[in-house]
Amino acid sequence: MPAEAEPWEGAGQNCSIGGRGGAELRPETRRSGSPRTVRYRIMFLEILLASVLGFLIYRYISWNKEETLALEDGWWGPGAKPTAREDESIRPFKVETSDEEIKDLHQRIDNFRWTAPLEDSRFHYGFNSNYLKKVLSYWRNEFDWRKQVEILNKYPHFKTKIEGLDIHFIHVKPPQLPSGRTPKPLLMVHGWPGSFYEFYKIIPLLTDPKSHGLSDEHIFEVICPSIPGYSFSQASSKKGFNSVATARIFYKLMLRLGFQKFYIQGGDWGSLVCTNMAQLVPGHVKGLHLNMAFILRSIHTLTPLLGRRFAQFFGYTERDMELLYPFKEKIFYSLMRESGYFHIQATKPDTVGCALNDSPVGLAAYILEKFSTWTNSEFRNLEDGGLERKFSLDDLLTNVMLYWTTGSIVSSQRYYKENMGQGPMANKHERMKVFVPTGFAAFPSEILHTPEKWVRVKYPSLISYSYMAEGGHFAAFEEPKLLAQDIRKFVTMVEQQ
């Protein structure tokens, strides 16, 4: 027999179905179920709520616990790791050139095949080839590479072997120290498409502040290494060489130089390398100063989508809103315009790299276009890309020559694939916070503004956040004095803790 149906409240009363004389089944007249069913439903909801709450607590605790990356080891040189102990000597190094090198460059520039730009295209389609003619004329006929080599050699260069790679760095000590004073070691790390040369104008402000009208409360000795695969640092022969491996190598470099505790500073890839150093060896890092941050794991990064009206509700300042809105222009269109190179280099770096490594003109256009739009996105509206508003052609071409003469464009681009080729949040360090004292300089023309709320999620020990007056992506190259002042302010705050 079929199971007996539960009776309806009000059964036997006159009612209709669909208005045709039958019973109308009103929801409010049905029973909510037997007492046992109700209890089961309540228990299920309690268990579900407890599980969700427990998961959220676990994620909060795991996301906020102070953990470090494992300090492992590696071998990135060609072939198998030798059984003999690695040579740990530090060798002096000098940048050199030759008549053959310069002659080959000139011949390649002379054979450049020019393509006419679209009318009134300015820098909207990339590097404007009309302005490129001017750059090439200067490069071919006026740029003095030998003179720039002398400028490069004004600071002491060195090399040392670490994990199978020859690591290049400059090490600049203060020219004079007040009696009884000890300089503070500061490691500064560059990014792409920059180089150690980005720091040449900020170094004297840090090592010899009094001679430049600055307080000598803090005097630094500055170490600027080249990321392996950039300039004079040997490229990895193995797959997988990423920012964590770089951070470990640079930590070993600092130990080899005799520094147990030190400050670190970086932008672009340098910010990630320095962040990884703070995650690997937090006890050795006195302070971390950044002018860019990779913030991938934060709900705050989605809040601008809700619109300017709700921004203040989420704690954004008026300055944040100026730099984040209008959203379509400041974030969406900006990222769309500026991310094409990223997708290429994070997937197939060798393909475009082969072309750039064979053509100094193509290399210059590819690199210098970034020094235009990453310095100020509005420069794309100018016929010359605004390149000479912040930089000299000598400085720009010196940076290009560091890629050209060392043949390092391919290996520098591979760094994108090694770090980002697996997708966001694939690496442990991306899911970890940083608990060393941190300072952040927010330059207004950076590709994407990073509000303090975003930075603090990843760096809860943020003690200094500064809205900089001007400047963009290449902070040390563009605004050395502003960056030096912010570093000094940050170090003062660390020392007073």
Six token digits for residue 358: 């064979």
- What Cα–Cα distance (Å) separates residue 67 from each residue in 197, 217, 245? 34, 33, 18
The reply to whether 410 and 488 lie within a common domain is: yes
pLDDT tens, position by position, 204-232: 999 999 999 999 999 999 999 999 999 99
Q: Which of 208, 268, 320, 486 is catalytic?
A: 268
- pLDDT (tens digit per residue) in 449-489: 999 999 999 999 999 999 999 999 999 999 999 999 999 99
Nearest Cα to 163, choosing from 253, 270, 94? 253
Is 416 annotated as catalytic?
yes
Instruction: Specify whether 221 is located in the same domain as 166.
Output: yes
pLDDT of residue 5: 44
pLDDT value, residue 87: 95
Neighbours of 484 (CB within 10 A): 22
Instruction: Give me the helix-helix angle, 243-256 and 269-280, nearest 10°.
Output: 70
State which of 63, 80, 113 marks the end of a domain: 63
42 and 189 part of one domain: no
Verify that 57 and 97 share a domain, yes or no: no
> What's the pLDDT at 377?
94
Active site residue 268: yes
Assess if residue 7 is contained within a domain: no
Of 286, 279, 71, 69, which Cα lies nearest the Cα of 186?
Answer: 286
Residue 254 sits in a domain of what CATH number? 3.40.50.1820
Domain assignment present for residue 74? The answer is no
The answer as to whether 121 is a domain residue is yes
Helices H / strands E in the chain, number of each: 19, 9
Q: Are strands 438-442 and 262-266 parallel, antiparallel or unpaired?
A: unpaired
pLDDT the model gives residue 24: 47
Asked if 473 is an active-site residue, the reply is yes
Euclidean distance between CA atoms 260 and 254, whole angstroms: 7
- Which member of 168, 197, 473, 486 is catalytic? 473
Q: Which of 71-85, 170-184, 202-216, 419-433 has the lowest mean pLDDT?
A: 419-433
Number of domains, the chain: 2
Would residue 152 count as lying in a domain?
Answer: yes
Residues 301-330 pLDDT 10s: 667 767 677 776 777 899 999 999 888 888
Is 242 found in the same domain as 116? yes
Instruction: Note whether 343 and 304 are same-domain residues.
Output: yes
* Residue 402 located in a structural domain: yes
Per-residue pLDDT band for 157 (boundaries 50, 70, 90) equals very high
Q: Write the CA distances from 303 to 60, 299, 337, 453, integer angstroms.
A: 20, 7, 22, 11
245 lies in which domain range?
A: 90-495
Three-state secondary structure of 184-244: EEEEEECCCCCCHHHHCCCHHHHHCHHHHCCCCCCCEEEEEECCCCCCCCCCCCCCCCCHH
Regarding whether 106 and 59 lie in a shared domain, the answer is no
**Last residue in a domain, options 45, 63, 81:** 63
Q: Give the pTM.
A: 0.86
**Looking at the domain assignment, is residue 245 inside a domain?**
yes
Could you tell me the end-to-end alpha-carbon distance of the chain, in angstroms, rounded to an integer?
81
- The rounded mean pLDDT for the chain is 89
Domain co-membership, 191 together with 47: no
Q: Which two tokens stand for residue 190?
A: 């560059």
pLDDT over 60 at 3, yes or no: no
Q: Are residues 201 and 253 in the same domain?
A: yes
Hey, what amino acid is at 206? Answer: L
Q: Indicate if 48 and 112 belong to the same structural domain.
A: no
Is residue 310 situated within a structural domain?
yes
Q: What is the mean pLDDT of residues 157-167?
A: 98
Catalytic residue chosen out of the listed positions 131, 415, 416, 465: 416
Q: Which two tokens stand for residue 479?
A: 């605004």
> Does 46 share its domain with 116?
no
